[in-house]
Amino acid sequence: MTVPWVVKYRPRTLDDVENQEDVKEELRSWIDSWLKGSPSSTAVMLYGPPGTGKTSMAIALANTYKLELVETNASDTRNLSSLRSIVERASVSGSLFGIRGKLIFLDEVDGIQPKQDFGAISAILEILRNTKYPILMAANDPWNPNLRDLRNAVKMVEVKKLGKIAMRRLLKKICTGEKIKCEDSALDEIIEASDGDSRYAINFLQSIAEGYGEVTEKLVSELVRRKERELDPFETVRSVFWARYGWQAKQAVSNSQVEYDLLMRWLSENIPVQYEMLNDIWRAYDALARASIFLTRARLSSWDMLSYTFDLMGPGVAMAEVEKKSPSWKAKWKKYQFPTLVQQLYKSKRTRDVRDQIIKKIGYHLHSSSAKIYNDVFPFFLITASRSSDEMAKYLELTPEEMEFISSSKVEEGITRETRTSTQSSEGTTRSRSTSRSRSRKS
């Protein structure tokens, strides 16, 4: 497994960051002001299109000033309390710039969903008021009305698209570093296609270099797809299974409109549909299992790990079929299935909604939280209510649908347990399309 070049060639210090001179200057004088004890502003928000170096500059800034980077992906920490505790622990404990100062970094702030991440913005605002450390944020699109309060509380710094000259220097450096032959005209094509997004450009360069061993204009113009189209789940699964080369599978995964947790389920469901040889199936599941481990690691520690997830679930699954390597191999057409879990979640959603309504009504009468009712009262309630349902219905003002829920036999055992786990897992996996897009481009 090769290291993604976007990770390998990520700038280490601010000096390594191409272009962005104004931004670097801004960041330097901001941190200097903190070091002098009179911060020019508590927080800075870097904003601009993907692949312009926002995340890189946060890391480089911390390296340059030998600060410990306390990083959290704002959109992923949908759990308000963990976001808060990560940042608060960092903000409250320790002295100003004690033995080793910290730089708090909230990446992809525009991914915060006010509905799901209820209170996240106000928590960040509170943290801004109390922090002892500089806070850096990054966003692709900060103009969302939900972010207005946040915008007003920080210094906004624009990060512009990378210029062509800078981009060329960047790509050249990599070609030299990797000792691969890159035609100048090929680089021109890549630069043109990437439109200032260096992540795209570097990934593109790597996929050609790895697939063909050299980067020529002819290859680039054949492969370049200026307008990337997002693949639906069926197309994604097909493109992965039908990919003859690793890079094709990788491209399919990173161009998919399906977010990665869900895509894993799609692949998982359809591996035994597509592959016929037991060994192929085994290898494919093995790759997928490892993809899932890296996904967890990406969530826990570093988003850079996500590249491995893509490598494993795209090329890993695609190359599991040994027959593919023979020249006579032909893709077999199969009819793919929806992941069962998705169907189940969909079906049980309505049931869960009804359950939650009942719990709310009970909670109203008992002056107790839904969680408490759910754990302590609801199981007994169901048993009692199914026996003396009429009085109960009247007292709680239950609707016929809610009555139906109570009286249906499966409720007593199944639903309460089963839905509990599925609610938890769905919380962990939902994410907005926009953020998962921007992340999937990292691969």
CB of 107 to Mg ion, least distance (A): 6
Q: Segment 13-42, which members bind ligand ADP (CB under 6 A)?
A: 17-20
**Please, which residue, 55 or 203, has the CB nearer to Mg ion?**
55
Give the per-residue contact string, 2-41, with Mg ion (x = CB under 5 A; - = no): ----------------------------------------
Told to check if 55 binds Mg ion by CB under 5 A, we report yes
Tell me the pairing of strands 181-182 and 102-107: unpaired
CB of 106 to ligand ADP, least distance (A): 12
CA atoms within 13 A on the CB side of 326: 7
Give the per-residue contact string, 126-145, with ligand ADP (x = CB under 6 A; - = no): ------------x-------
**Please, which residue, 19 or 348, has the CB nearer to ligand ADP?**
19
Q: 174: helix, coil or strand?
A: helix
Told to check if 435 binds ligand ADP by CB under 6 A, we report no
Q: How far apart are CA 223 and CA 350, in angstroms?
A: 45
List 194, 198, 251, 443, residue binding ligand ADP (CB under 6 A): 198
Q: How far apart are CA 269 and CA 280, in angstroms?
A: 15
CB of 179 to Mg ion, least distance (A): 28
List 24, 84, 199, 431, residue binding ligand ADP (CB under 6 A): 199
Told to check if 435 binds Mg ion by CB under 5 A, we report no
CB of 55 to Mg ion, least distance (A): 3
Tokens (6 digits) for 142: 């900060």
Span of 50-58, 80-88, 118-126, 389-397 interacting with ligand ADP by CB under 6 A: 50-58
Told to check if 109 binds ligand ADP by CB under 6 A, we report no
Q: How far apart are CA 104 and CA 117, in angstroms?
A: 19
Q: Put residue 275 in one of left, alpha, beta given phi > 0 → left and psi -120 to 50 → alpha.
A: beta
Indicate if the alpha-carbon torsion angle 139, 144, 146, 147 is positive or negative.
Answer: positive
Q: Which letter does DSSP use for residue 19 in this model? A: S
Residues facing 256 on adjacent strands: 231
Q: Please state, as a whole number, how many other Cβ atoms lie within 10 Å of the Cβ of residue 36.
A: 9
The answer to whether residues 43 and 83 touch, using CB atoms and an 8 Å cutoff, is: no
Where on the chain is the footprint of ligand ADP (CB under 6 A)?
6, 9-11, 17-20, 50-56, 138, 162, 170, 198-199, 202
